[in-house]
Chain A
Amino acid sequence: DTAVSQTPKYLVTQMGNDKSIKCEQNLGHDTMYWYKQDSKKFLKIMFSYNNKELIINETVPNRFSPKSPDKAHLNLHINSLELGDSAVYFCASSQVSGPYNEQFFGPGTRLTVL
């Protein structure tokens, strides 16, 4: 069974559109994350979220918003897509109260904005 899943794996869209990427984890973790990986492979944290707190990286444009319908899901919604949003987006989860708090990653979503 997939521990952290994301859909879709590939997303091609036009500038100005609004899109969402879904993430689900079946690990029972209490915290979920969204990362952006650019073309140089640099990983940047966008959000971390548990049922108590949303931590937002201040450099993330407010066109990006996380939406969590329940503890197992953290979707990423992006408004007014721009060319610079093209990247691979990773969802991850962890158990903050666990001994290591290592993060488990989804397979990534490659977003291409034309």
Chain B
Amino acid sequence: AQTVTQSQPEMSVQEAETVTLSCTYDTSENNYYLFWYKQPPSRQMILVIRQEAYKQQNATENRFSVNFQKAAKSFSLKISDSQLGDTAMYFCAYRDSNYQLIWGAGTKLIIKP
């Protein structure tokens, strides 16, 4: 069975700094999809970024980018020029062959002014 591990329960950085959130996963599949979701205090789940496993190029969305290392089964999220509004829980997720998401436990990110 697939598993997703986020080893950092909580992180905090100063505004404008760069922060990297780690995510590793375990799977025997060759093609799959990975996602990062953000859950701010409003509790709304928001898709941040996505990556297809067969694409070697790392996905980027404005200040958000991933470092996808397929062989290492690693999918870290980098947030550049962090802003106060980035304060949230961040969840890494793997889409399995049943189209269901396997979730990590989340990382609480606090951006300090």
Interface size class of B (residues with CB under 8 A): 20 to 34
Is A105 a contact of B44 with CB atoms below 8 Å?
Answer: yes
CA distance A105 to B89 in the complex (A): 15
State which of A44, A48, A107 has its C-beta within 8 Å of the C-beta of B99. Answer: A48
B45 at the interface (CB under 8 A from A): yes
- In the complex, the chain A residue whose C-beta lies closest to that of B108 is A41
Residues of B within 8 A of A40 (CB): 105
In angstroms, Cα B44 to Cα A103, docked, is: 13
Q: Is A88 an interface residue (CB 8 A)?
A: yes
Q: How distant is the Cα of A41 from the Cα of B89 in the complex, in angstroms?
A: 9
> Is there contact, CB below 8 Å, between A55 and B50?
no
Q: Do A48 and B33 form a contact, CB below 8 Å, given A42-B106, A100-B50, A108-B44?
A: no
Residues 26-55 of A at the B interface (beta carbon under 8 Å): 31, 33, 40-45, 48, 55
Q: Hey, which bits of chain A sit against chain B, CB under 8 A?
A: 31, 33, 40-45, 48, 55, 88, 90, 92, 94, 96, 100-105, 107-108, 110
Q: B residues touching A (Cβ–Cβ < 8 Å)?
A: 33, 35, 37, 39, 42-47, 50, 52, 89, 91, 95, 98-101, 103, 105-106, 108
Report the 3 A-B pairs with minimum CB-CB distance, sorted nearest first: A105-B45, A43-B103, A96-B99
**Beyond known contacts A88-B43, A104-B47: 18 more, CB 8 A cutoff:** A31-B99, A40-B105, A41-B108, A43-B103, A43-B106, A48-B98, A48-B100, A94-B99, A100-B50, A101-B95, A102-B33, A102-B35, A103-B47, A105-B44, A105-B45, A108-B43, A108-B44, A108-B45
